[in-house]
Amino acid sequence: MSDHFAPTFEIMAWYVVRTRSGDEYKAKQALEKQVEVFKKEAFFEKVIIPEEKITELVKGEKIIKKHVFLPGHLFIKMILDEKMWHLVKNTPKILGFIGNQLKPSPISEQEVEEVMLRIAERESKPRFVIGEKARVKEGPFYGFVGPVSTIDPAKGVIGISVNVFERPLVLTIEWNNVEKIEEEKSWQKKKSKENLSSKL
């Protein structure tokens, strides 16, 4: 290892490591524990899981959950020397560095900021909630209405459960081609009925 390793000369830089999909939080906790146990805080500035907030409808209540934006990846800002390479590489749930395993290349601050900006842009868009109704506003399924069943922020699509020829089907539609349907309040329904009665 020593003959191939390229030190960073005590410069903090961003590196990307791989984990198994679904193990991102466990890997982050394990690494932070390793850093604490071996008292290497001076070598690590940040450990980030690129994530965004997703709202879901659970038993009639809106619940905010975190969704991993880049499954299987951690961003680490650290000073990388041979000892720190081993510390990271031997951390449970971490599979290794992205790129050359013996000489990992750092990514720029700008690349990290671009990822975080993309997440911020997604979070600023109209948020769909699992369980709420939505309508397809463009394409061959124009006008179809159904509850949102799945949300895939990374691909920018949602699944809407509908009936086509009396058979259940989940339509995978891009966010831009779907609009929310606000549920009528009880007083609005009552007023609609009164207006209809007055016309009869």
Domain CATH number, residue 67: 3.30.70.940
Q: Are residues 186 and 147 in the same domain?
A: yes
Q: Residue 6 falls within a domain, yes or no? A: no
Q: pLDDT over 90 for what percent of the chain?
A: 42
Kindly provide the b/e burial profile for residues 24-58, where b requires at least 16 CB atoms within 10 angstroms of the residue's own CB: beebbebbeebbeeeeeeebbeebebbbbebebee
Which of 101, 124, 147 is the endpoint of a domain? 124
User: What pLDDT was estimated at residue 62?
Assistant: 67
Beta strand residue intervals within 20-130, DSSP E:
44-48, 51-58, 61-68, 73-78, 94-97
For residue 192, is pLDDT > 50?
no
Instruction: Give 67's pLDDT tier (boundaries 50, 70, 90).
Output: confident
Angle, to 10 degrees, between the axis of helix 82-89 and the axis of helix 24-37? Answer: 140
For residue 33, is pLDDT > 90?
yes
For residue 191, is pLDDT > 50?
no
For residue 138, is pLDDT > 70?
yes
- Counting the structural domains of the chain, the total is 2
Provide mean pLDDT across the span 134-155: 86
The span from the CA of 184 to the CA of 98, in Å, is 50
Q: Are residues 31 and 102 in the same domain?
A: yes
Q: Residue 3 falls within a domain, yes or no? A: no
User: What pLDDT was estimated at residue 32?
Assistant: 97
For residue 188, is pLDDT > 60?
no
**The 133-136 sheet, strands edge to edge:** 167-174, 157-164, 145-152, 133-136, 178-180
Q: Are residues 29 and 95 in the same domain?
A: yes
Q: Is 19 exposed, middle or buried (0-12, 13-18, 19+ CB in 10 A)?
A: buried
Q: Are residues 40 and 118 in the same domain?
A: yes
User: What pLDDT was estimated at residue 186?
Assistant: 44
Q: Which three-class secondary structure state does DSSP give residue 177?
A: helix
Q: Residue 188 falls within a domain, yes or no? A: yes
**The 44-48 sheet, strands edge to edge:** 44-48, 73-78, 13-19, 94-97
Task: Give bridge partners of residue 65 from the DSSP assignment.
Answer: 54
Q: Are residues 38 and 57 in the same domain?
A: yes
Q: Are residues 17 and 101 in the same domain?
A: yes
- Domain of 80 in residue numbering reads as 13-124
- Report which listed range, 22-26, 97-101, 155-159, 162-166, is most confident: 22-26
Q: Are residues 147 and 83 in the same domain?
A: no
Alpha-carbon distances of 179 from 123, 124, 127, 131, rounded to whole Å: 16, 15, 10, 14
Instruction: Give 55's pLDDT tier (boundaries 50, 70, 90).
Output: low
Torsions phi, psi of 73, nearest 5?
A: -135, 140
Which of 77, 98, 124 is the endpoint of a domain? 124
Q: Are residues 69 and 158 in the same domain?
A: no
Q: Are residues 35 and 100 in the same domain?
A: yes
Between 21 and 190, where is the model more confident? 21
Q: Are residues 63 and 20 in the same domain?
A: yes
For residue 148, is pLDDT > 70?
yes
Instruction: Give 111's pLDDT tier (boundaries 50, 70, 90).
Output: very high
Which of 96, 124, 152 is the endpoint of a domain? 124
User: What pLDDT was estimated at residue 199?
Assistant: 40
Q: Are residues 46 and 120 in the same domain?
A: yes
For residue 198, is pLDDT > 60?
no
Provide mean pLDDT across the span 69-80: 94
Q: Which residue has the tokens 């905010």?
A: 64
Q: Residue 2 falls within a domain, yes or no? A: no
